[in-house]
Amino acid sequence: MPDSTVVTIERFFLEQERLHPQASGDLTQLLYDIALASKIISGYVRRAGLVDILGAASDTNVYGERQQKLDVIANDTMKQMISWTGRVCIMASEEDEVPFPIPAEFNPGKYAVLHDPLDGSSNFDFNVSIGTIFSIHRRITEAGPGRLEDCLQKGRNQVAAGYVMHGSSTVLVYTTGEGVHAFTMDPTIGEFRLINPDIRIPAVGKYYSINESYSDRWSDGYRRVVSSFKGSDGADHKKNARYIGSLVADFHRNLLAGGVFMYPADSESPQGKLRLMYEASPLAFIAEQAGGAASDGRRPVLDIQPTALHQRTPLLIGSKDDVAFVEKTIAEVDGA
């Protein structure tokens, strides 16, 4: 008898595709291409301490951040595994200044893929969890190599989004707008296996996540929020502080346990630090699909019309009621 308890990601993708008889299968295959790229990246991450790929590469990325060697390897792997498949028309990476339109000889397809190939990689030399984040849009330009406008779409238009977290295990979480599903890499079979179908984030969470070393830069509203989470207004909003400094790890914990992650604009970063296209938008799609919320403090992240590929945004994401409490507090204290 087939073992129905072993639901690999391939089986799950195919089951999901069967729900849409009209589907061409291109999105399913693209998601599998990303899962395959993630396995290769996971192999490098798991060996990093053993071969010379720890530490910084020679270049810096568009933000002037020194690229870690693993960033470069992950970026190249994503491009090598996805760009030639005929399923994408353009790829944009947090690590590349300009997007990569797929050349005509690769038969450009109908999707645009934006990704942060290895977010949090500066933590990796210390064995902290890091992750790949991806966002998929349907192209809006006609056939041929994709164009910038295929990338600069509102998050609400995404057809899929997800992340792969390289931590104590390798976990892939994604949504195509029909719930959020999590898989863990089973090294004995070399496959991602379904562990958490239809994840729902608790409306009120256990944790709040923010880098408190920047508190001198915060608005009065965020100071009030954090003070409430520390118990200043009684037990109503008291939470535990958890901040890893690796977005995928902080997000994943709050997705499962409930909580709110905040990376606000502050006096030194008027647009915050995190990137709209590669971090905030894909995670916001996941958060909303799991019953949570994501905003820039005033409006849903998914409704922001991007104007530049590498633009940053303040980010408030996680449990729906917690996000609403933060938005309400900063509106009251800082003004709407």
Backbone angles phi, psi at 177, to 5 degrees: 95, 5
Q: How far is CA 185 from CA 67, 178, 182, 191, in A?
A: 27, 22, 10, 6
d(CA 27, CA 278): 19
Q: How many CB atoms lie within 10 A of CB 231?
A: 12
If one asks whether residue 61 binds ligand P6P (CB under 6 A), the answer comes out as no
From the list 3-11, 23-31, 39-47, 117-125, the region that binds ligand P6P by CB under 6 A is: 117-125
Count, residues near ligand P6P per rule CB under 6 A: 9
What residues contact residue 202 under an 8 Å CB cut-off, 6+ apart? 257, 258, 319
Rule CB under 6 A: say whether 129 interacts with ligand P6P: no
- Residue 332: strand, helix, or coil: helix
Strands (E), 94-234: 100-101, 111-119, 130-138, 160-166, 170-175, 180-186, 191-196, 207-209
Residue 336: CB minimum distance to ligand P6P, A: 27
Nearer to ligand P6P among residue 144 and residue 245 (C-beta):
245
Cβ-based nearer residue to ligand P6P, 85 or 211: 211
Provide the 8-state DSSP code for 276: I
- Contact segment (CB under 6 A) with ligand P6P among 26-34, 115-123, 177-185, 297-305 equals 115-123
Q: Who contacts 253 (Cβ-Cβ below 8 Å, separation ≥6)?
A: 207, 242, 244, 259
Among 99, 117, 120, 314, which residue interacts with ligand P6P (rule: CB under 6 A)?
A: 120
In the complex, minimum distance from the CB of residue 247 to ligand P6P, in angstroms, rounded to a whole number: 3
Shortest reach from residue 121's CB to ligand P6P, in Å: 8
Distances (CA, A) of 284 to 96, 276, 309: 22, 10, 17
Task: Verify binding: residue 85, ligand P6P, rule CB under 6 A.
Answer: no
* Nearer to ligand P6P (CB atom), residue 67 or residue 83: 67
x/- mask, ligand P6P, residues 194-223, rule CB under 6 A, reads: -----------------x------------
Q: Does 247 bind ligand P6P (CB under 6 A)?
A: yes
Site for ligand P6P in 266-295 (CB under 6 A): 273
246 binds ligand P6P (CB under 6 A): yes
111-119/88-93 β-pairing: parallel
- Shortest distance in whole angstroms from residue 268 CB to ligand P6P: 10
Which stretch, 42-50, 145-153, 193-201, 239-247, contacts ligand P6P (CB under 6 A)? 239-247
148, containing H or E segment: helix 148-151
C-alpha distances in Å from residue 211, one per residue of 104, 118, 219, 226 = 45, 20, 14, 11
**Residue 98 burial class via C-beta count within 10 angstroms: exposed 0-12, middle 13-18, buried 19 and up:** exposed
- Residue with smaller CB distance to ligand P6P, 101 or 120: 120
- Least separation in angstroms between CB 120 and ligand P6P: 4
Contacts of 182 (CB under 8 A, 6+ apart): 171, 172, 173, 194, 195, 196, 197, 199
Among 119, 266, 288, 327, binds ligand P6P (CB under 6 A): 119
Query: What's the closest the beta carbon of residue 291 comes to ligand P6P, in angstroms?
Result: 22
Sign of the C-alpha dihedral, residues 315, 325, 209, 34? negative
Q: Which residues bind ligand P6P (CB under 6 A)?
A: 119-120, 122, 211, 245-247, 250, 273
